[in-house]
Structure 1
């Protein structure tokens, strides 16, 4: 699969119960035997890439890392043979049919169907936790390093949260050697406690317990959160300094004003479950030629409705267009799934618009101007508010990319070191502490 980066800002099952039973019953493979012990790594690195960077058909042994720059998982696996292994989460990494227009992958690189963001994320968490439980069953002393970028950070963060809740068999908080949440849509607001890391970096304890590592390029406003809203208040409280979060202050995936329309839409899409239409949607999504043709046919009434500030009939119009002749089942499913998503987004926007229209002044925390640069939910109608959100998020989207040495822009740094290299070096130090190998 080609390496690309796409903004936010969700299988091949490697942990079947049958394999666990087989492992438990086969004496030569039990953790107590020398043969099994010699096959157990000291550390396993679990990596979840960002949106449009993986599919459920991928091999988890194909370690691609993130989109650009240092593939630290593969490099560290090679640097510590037999002691370090890596596993790439093979999850859909999709963001709904609505977001499929941003998918730059070829059709050959995509899996069938287009899950909503929340369903894709949930699939990633399921696969990651099953893998960790299966490995821990064979190798109870194994430690895990978990890293994710963008949607992958949602997967990584939720996976470690599940560990903290005690719902991943055989894996405890002490099993987590380190976690790296890069541009995390589930990032929580900053607290006031300063935390000193072993590598000399200074961090800030966040409300849910992770340690936020400021970039040289700045720190988000303390009350800002991720696009999908923060996790439960106790998500990372049992991990000490072993869950690290990194976010540029203008990255729309991880630095957004709480309670504003972008976050409310992001939260709604994060909660949207998959439907048969999502699973059957044509691979190309909105970029399928016939789907595009249908959208062109209804573009005039769509434009008029948007111009008049009337949004509620739009989902029904798109759904009815799925009945046009000449479409196959996947194309019809894509249009119906799109209608469902538009209905969810429209409902959230309508509620927000009514709330703002009924109150004088600011109804929620004010936007910090020099971070957002553009109002993200202004407008006199439901449609105009959505248009404002779309424009502002796209304009800020370029801040989501430069965490990597080869991101095409001047990269972000921590203490003068490019972020992906900083993560590599911090991981290496944690591995050396466990393996006692300089």
Structure 2
């Protein structure tokens, strides 16, 4: 064998040794990666067993309520929404004069006399308060849908602005007839986390008072005094939906009053077709009756004891005393 051939053969073991070292190094790296994966898996917390204690919910990102608020804020906002034909879009919310016989004026005026504005800002929502009778082709006033939407929007705007500027102010919400529908809808939204108050401020609502609520459901709130079974006209007619243009019967409130159920009080006199509606046979005829029910003697006389009274008090007297008690507790 020549010296050249011997030299080539003598180099082969070193090359083989280099390859072996690379293989060993690769295996070592792979083993290290596997160990890291196992450690991560073993240290990961196991999911809770079915039926076991729930994991802690994430901390709320809602801002903490401040300890103070501007000096021009009242302790309580007493928000009042009048019934059909008892308000106007241009009325003065602190001195309403659109209808001197407005039922809710008997409540709001008494609250203004009892409390200074620093204690209670008594605010009557100005809105068109109309209801076009679809059974009367000569009726050209604004539709129920348009009126109700304006009333709700304006009431929500007042609540939202108050909440932003006066984070410690509390609320008493009251309404009659169409106004009761509006107030009830807002209370339902608040109690179910749909606004206009932030969900963490639901506790600021001291109470909700409704007289002749068109979306009333017996037993779904505190029914005050002699309270008939049955439902309001909008619930009774809910099946017709938007069959009649401009007059949508919205049925029962989704979620009821939610967290505000125990703080909501409803007054309904037996025979009031707005809050105790008859069985529907003809939708068009029934909605015409609904429109005319606003002038029905039972519906129009809650300031008397003729059709509803509790311990000698009229509905407006009861609501004034109830609201006054809630406000007085804050002073």
- Residue deviations 1:239-277 (CA, integer Å, cap 9, x gap): 14211111012000010135x147xx4xxxxxxxxxxxx
Alpha-carbon distance, 1:151 to partner: 0.7
Gaps of 5+ in 2: 1-64, 236-250
Match of 2:223 among 212, 215, 229: 212
Match of 1:425 among 312, 321, 324: 321
Is the CA contact (8 Å cut-off) linking 2:78 and 2:173 kept in structure 1?
Answer: yes
**Bigger Rg over Cα:** 2
CA gap of 1:420–1:114, structure 2 versus 1, over 3 A, is same
Match of 1:398 among 279, 289, 297: 297
Is 2:103 aligned against 1:54? no
1:67-146 matched pairs, under 5 angstroms: 67-68=102-103, 71-81=106-116, 82-96=118-132, 98=134, 114-146=141-173
Q: Distance in 2 between matches of 1:125 and 1:396?
A: 23
Alpha-carbon distance, 1:173 to partner: 2.2
Q: Secondary structure at the match of 2:231?
A: coil
Q: Distance in 2 between matches of 1:75 and 1:402?
A: 18
Q: Distance in 1 between matches of 2:142 and 2:188?
A: 22
Q: Secondary structure at the match of 1:402?
A: coil
- Partner residue of 1:13? none
Is the CA contact (8 Å cut-off) linking 1:151 and 1:184 kept in structure 2?
Answer: yes
- Residue deviations 1:27-62 (CA, integer Å, cap 9, x gap): xxxx9798x622111111111111111121222222
Is the CA contact (8 Å cut-off) linking 1:48 and 1:88 kept in structure 2?
Answer: yes
CA gap of 1:42–1:66, structure 2 versus 1, over 3 A, is farther
- Partner residue of 1:237? 258
Q: Secondary structure at the match of 1:414?
A: coil
Match of 2:195 among 150, 167, 173: 167
Q: Distance in 1 between matches of 2:167 and 2:202?
A: 13
- Partner residue of 1:196? none
- Residue deviations 1:144-194 (CA, integer Å, cap 9, x gap): 111111111111111212222332144732121111110111101x3xxxx
- Residue deviations 1:170-228 (CA, integer Å, cap 9, x gap): 4732121111110111101x3xxxxxxxxxxxxxx32xxx211133xxx323xx21011
Alpha-carbon distance, 1:234 to partner: 1.6
Alpha-carbon distance, 1:232 to partner: 2.5
CA gap of 1:49–1:402, structure 2 versus 1, over 3 A, is same
- Residue deviations 1:359-392 (CA, integer Å, cap 9, x gap): xxxxxxxxxxxxxxxxxxxxxxxxxxx3997599
Q: Secondary structure at the match of 1:147?
A: strand
Q: Secondary structure at the match of 1:179?
A: strand
Gaps of 5+ in 1: 1-30, 104-112, 191-204, 266-344, 346-385
TM-score normalised over the length of structure 1: 0.50
Q: Distance in 2 between matches of 1:83 and 1:60?
A: 17
- Partner residue of 2:28? none
Is the CA contact (8 Å cut-off) linking 1:49 and 1:66 kept in structure 2?
Answer: no
Is the CA contact (8 Å cut-off) linking 2:103 and 2:316 kept in structure 1?
Answer: no
- Partner residue of 1:184? 213
Q: Distance in 2 between matches of 1:56 and 1:93?
A: 8
1:18-29 matched pairs, under 5 angstroms: none
- How many correspondences in the alignment? 247
